[in-house]
Amino acid sequence: MKQKTKNFFIIFLIILGFVFVSFSQAKPEPLKRKIVVFKPGIEEEVKEKIINSVGGEKIKDLKLIGGKAILLNPQAEKNLLKKSEILRIDEDVEVFALIKSTKINRIIPQPAQILPWGIDRIDAEKAWQDTTANSIKIGVLDTGIDLTHPDLKMNIKGGYNAINSRKLPQDDNGHGTHVAGIIAALNNTIGVVGVGPEIDLYAIKVLGASGSGYLSDVIEGLEWAVSNGIQVVNMSLGTDQDIQSFREAIKKAYGAGVTMVAAAGNDGGSVDYPAAYPEVIAVSATDEKDEIASWSSRGGEIDLAAPGVNIYSTYKGSTYKILSGTSMAAPHVTGVAALVIDSKKCDYDKNGICSPSEVQQRLEETAIDLAPVGKDILYGFGLVNAERALNY
């Protein structure tokens, strides 16, 4: 009797083991965000069928690069790579707002207007007698913009939410509003004033409340900018990963005539992407002594420098705040790019249009050279200067 009981117990354990193994094997594989790029000439209907055939879940179309953002498990990705219509599959990596530090000093709405030190340092106010960049369309690819901020709302002309197209591109973080204020805060009696106080702002929300987002949303944001005639795009965001789909999207936007400015990064090391791409104007950060910030990224990709330490600007909730980072440096350059485009001082070939390469050339040749002499890995061609860009 004892032997039978023992045998029964052993059989029970074996069966239990099989059940456990089967259950473990049956667990669904985790889904991961991927960017699937198709070969040219594949119709959208065919693309959809291919995705469905492997059990993929589409997140969004990425027409700028002929691809789609998709949720895939590892086996589905392997199956998809076997399809002759597939060009490649990239990681849909996270991108981050490039803020380094913040001062906890949110201020009561509508303080008296001041001229922030960064705006003063690049001589933006001296350029306003020539132009305030009225009607130049600037896209802020960021966390959105506070659409009701009294120092910005008159300049906000539209936008898009790439994270959720059914919602407004309202800033739920504060970073994008801060960037927007540096570019185009109104010249009124409150708060601050931007580089070009009559620039047309477009809020293109690609980062969420945490200040991070996905590459696919950034690519969709670039696509929206191209489709809507945006002339300059500010990207105070980045990743340390060079993703082919990102590189391709940047090239497409550049080819469409969009001037792109990006923050270099804040880890004191190599330049982040997209700033590291040659089609993008990479901006490092300086302090009030015109010295490079210790944390500002550096390298041969740096094109220009701009104020990025303790920058006072607009913030969500109709307030103001001091932030630091190459995120704050880039919009100084973006604003000057708008002034230059409006002035036509960058139209070297006299065809009535300032191409991205012409805009960059004008900004670089009129920058204030900082030691060492000539283009260098810290400041690029030097500190951007609005007055020189319009009158030099």
pLDDT tens for each residue of 304-316: 999 999 999 999 9
Angle at CA 225, nearest 5°, toward 32 and 51?
Answer: 30
* Confidence (pLDDT) at 12: 46
pLDDT class of 109 with cuts at 50, 70, 90: confident
Domain limits of the chain? 32-92, 95-391
Known catalytic membership, residue 327: yes
Phi, psi of 286 (to 5 degrees): -120, 165
pTM of the model: 0.92
The band of 11, judged by pLDDT with boundaries at 50, 70 and 90, is very low
Tens-digit pLDDT profile for residues 145-161:
999 999 999 999 999 99
**Residue 243 token pair:** 């993703």
In 155-236 the beta strands, taken as DSSP E runs, fall at 156-161, 200-205, 212-214, 232-235
CATH fold, domain 32-92, is Alpha-Beta Plaits (3.30.70)
C-alpha–C-alpha distance, residues 134 and 93, integer Å: 36
Q: Which of 4-18, 22-36, 68-82 has the lowest mean pLDDT?
A: 4-18
**Vertex 346, ends 345 and 351: CA angle to 5°?**
100
Q: What is the mean pLDDT of residues 185-200?
A: 98
Rounded Cα distance between 244 and 90, Å, is 7
Model confidence pLDDT, tens digit, residues 329-386: 999 999 999 999 999 999 999 999 999 999 999 999 999 999 788 999 999 999 999 9
Q: Are 184 and 197 in contact (CB under 8 A)?
A: yes
- 142 catalytic per annotation: yes
- Give percent of the chain with pLDDT exceeding 90: 88
Q: Is the peptide bond before 274 cis (omega within 30 degrees of 0)?
A: yes
| 175 is an active site residue | yes
Catalytic annotation, pick one of 146, 171, 175, 332: 175
CATH number, domain 95-391, options 3.30.300.20, 3.90.180.10, 3.40.50.200, 3.40.640.10: 3.40.50.200
Of 351, 328, 352, 333, give the one whose Cα is nearest residue 342.
352
Token pair listed for 381: 């061609």
Query: Which of the residues 327, 342, 343, 376 is marked catalytic?
Result: 327
Q: Which of 90, 92, 142, 171 is catalytic?
A: 142
pLDDT at 27: 59
